Homo-oligomer: A and B are copies of this chain.
Amino acid sequence: MAHHGYTPDLSRRERVGLDEAVFCASKSVAQIEGILADAAARGTSVLLTRLASEQVAALGATVHGQLDYDPESRTAFFGPEPALKPHAPRVAVVTAGTSDVAVAREAVRTLRHAGEPAREIHDVGVAGLWRLLERVEELTSFPVLIVAAGMDAALPSVVGGLVRGAIIAVPTSAGYGVAAGGETALRSVLASCAPGISVVNIDNGYGAACAALRILAAVDA
* Interface residues, chain A, with chain B CB atoms under 8 Å away: 4-7, 9, 11-12, 15-18, 21, 23, 25-27, 31, 50, 95-99, 101, 122-131, 143-144, 151-154, 157-158, 160-168, 173-204, 206-208, 210-211, 213-215, 217-219, 221
With A158-B158, A201-B176 already in contact, the answer to whether A214 and B165 are too (CB < 8 A) is yes
The one of B127, B153, B167 in contact with A214, judged by C-beta atoms closer than 8 angstroms, is B167
Complex copy number for this chain: 8
With A123-B7, A165-B218, A218-B165 already in contact, the answer to whether A151 and B193 are too (CB < 8 A) is yes
A158, A180, A197, A201 interface centre (most CB from chain B within 10 Å): A201
With A5-B122, A177-B203 already in contact, the answer to whether A217 and B164 are too (CB < 8 A) is yes
The one of B143, B162, B178 in contact with A16, judged by C-beta atoms closer than 8 angstroms, is B162
30 A-B interface contacts by CB (under 8 A)? A5-B101, A5-B123, A6-B123, A7-B122, A7-B128, A9-B128, A11-B130, A18-B196, A26-B98, A27-B98, A97-B193, A126-B158, A128-B161, A143-B218, A144-B218, A151-B192, A168-B198, A173-B177, A176-B201, A176-B203, A176-B204, A177-B201, A178-B201, A179-B201, A184-B188, A188-B188, A191-B201, A196-B210, A199-B199, A215-B215
Rounded to whole Å, the gap between the CB of A175 and the closest CB of chain B is 6
Q: Which 4 A-B pairs have the closest CB atoms?
A: A196-B210, A177-B202, A198-B198, A9-B128
**Closest B residue, CB atoms, query A71:** B28
A177 close to B191 (CB less than 8 A): yes
Distance A123 CA – B192 CA, assembled complex (angstroms)? 15
A154 close to B193 (CB less than 8 A): yes
A196 close to B176 (CB less than 8 A): no
